Amino acid sequence: MSFLEMLDVLNERLILEGDDPIAFDHDCREGICGMCGMVINGVAHGEQRATTTCQLHMRHFEDNATITIEPWRAAPFPVVKDLVVDRSAFDRIIQAGGFVSVPAGSAPDAHSIPVRKEDADAAFDAATCIGCGACVAACPNGSASLFTAAKITHLSLLPQGQPERLSRAKAMVDQMDAEGFGGCTNTGECTAVCPKGIPLDTIAQMNTDYLKANAK
């Protein structure tokens, strides 16, 4: 039985007893959509590394153990109900510049710009972020640096991302600050709980691009 199936069973019981079931976000239940997320026994997504909440299974818990479950806690993620939080701040950070401006139909042939395999692989590693928000929940400063840096790094490493590289970094970091996320002090809690293992050095890439943008 998975962790979320345990919550399903609990909720079925609560409904029949006439109580309110516990509201929680979930969708794909295979670790890729990024919708689920809760702090389990004090750790975002639970103690198992590189795992989303939906990928946790009850066999990793002892019989009769008491499990503490909390929502993500960060001021920019207001609680909507029970374990459901509002992560729309992440969408606004992407709106600020997390894209390449290319209208449909205007693209050149895909092979017109070769990309070094090493760059493509590193870009992919950063691009696997699922936007769950565990990094923010785990950070003592409530920083969204890992999330923001993952997108900046993904696009910075590819030739397609170059024209908007510096303006993107500046706009996204400024938006992150405006949303009320804290600053990064290199504690590394974010990458420790990240279900996709986004590397901490993406934050260095973000800071480099941001400084260059401000120096201009």
Partner 1 sequence: MKFTEGSEIRDTRAPEGPIEDRWEKRKFAAKLVNPANKRKLNVIVVGTGLAGGSAAATLGELGYNVKSFCYQDTPRRAHSIAAQGGINAAKNYRGDGDSIYRLFYDTVKGGDFRARESNVYRLAQVSVNIIDQAVAQGVPFAREYGGLLDTRSFGGAQVSRTFYARGQTGQQLLLGAYQALERQVAAGTVEMFTRHEMLDLIVADGRARGIIVRDMVTGEIERHTADAVVLASGGYGNVFFLSTNAKGCNTTAIWRAHERGAYFANPCYTQIHPTCIPVSGEYQSKLTLMSESLRNDGRVWVPLRKGDERAPGDIPDDERDYYLERIYPAFGNLVPRDIASRAAKNVCDEGRGVGPGGLGVYLDFRDAINRLGRDAVEKKYGNLFEMYERITGENPYDVPMRIYPAVHYTMGGLWVDYDLQSTIPGLFVIGEANFSDHGANRLGASALMQGLADGYFVLPTTLGDYLAAGPFGEVDEQAVAEAELKVRSKIDRLLAVNGTRTPDSFHRELGKLMWDYCGMERTEESLRKALDRIPELRKEFWENVKVSGTAEELNQVLEKAGRVADFFDLAELMCLDALVRSESCGGHFRAESQDSEGEALRDDESFAHVSAWEYSPDGEPVLHKEPLEYEYVKMTQRSYK
Residues from 155 through 184 that contact partner 1 (CB under 8 A): 155, 158, 160-161
Where in 197-216 is the site for partner 1 (CB under 8 A)? none
Q: Other C-beta atoms within 10 Å of 2: how many?
A: 15
Nearer to partner 1 (CB atom), residue 105 or residue 140? 105
Instruction: Tell me which of 43, 69, 70, 84 binds partner 1, using CB under 8 A.
Output: 84
Residue type for 99, please?
A: F
Q: What are phi and psi of 180, to 5 degrees?
A: 95, 10
Is residue 137 a contact partner of residue 73, using CB atoms and an 8 Å limit? yes
For residue 84, the cross-strand partners are 81
Q: What angle do CA 7, 11, 13 make, to 5 degrees?
A: 120
Is residue 168 a contact partner of residue 98, using CB atoms and an 8 Å limit? yes
Instruction: Tell me which of 64, 65, 114, 215 binds partner 1, using CB under 8 A.
Output: 114
Instruction: Tell me which of 14, 79, 178, 211 binds partner 1, using CB under 8 A.
Output: 14
Residue 104 interacts with partner 1 (CB under 8 A)?
A: yes
Where in 49-68 is the site for partner 1 (CB under 8 A)? 51, 55, 57, 59
For residue 40, the cross-strand partners are 43, 69
Instruction: Tell me which of 106, 140, 186, 215 binds partner 1, using CB under 8 A.
Output: 106
How remote is the C-alpha of 43 from its chain's centroid?
A: 15
Where in 116-155 is the site for partner 1 (CB under 8 A)? 116-117, 120-121, 123-124, 127-128, 130-131, 154-155
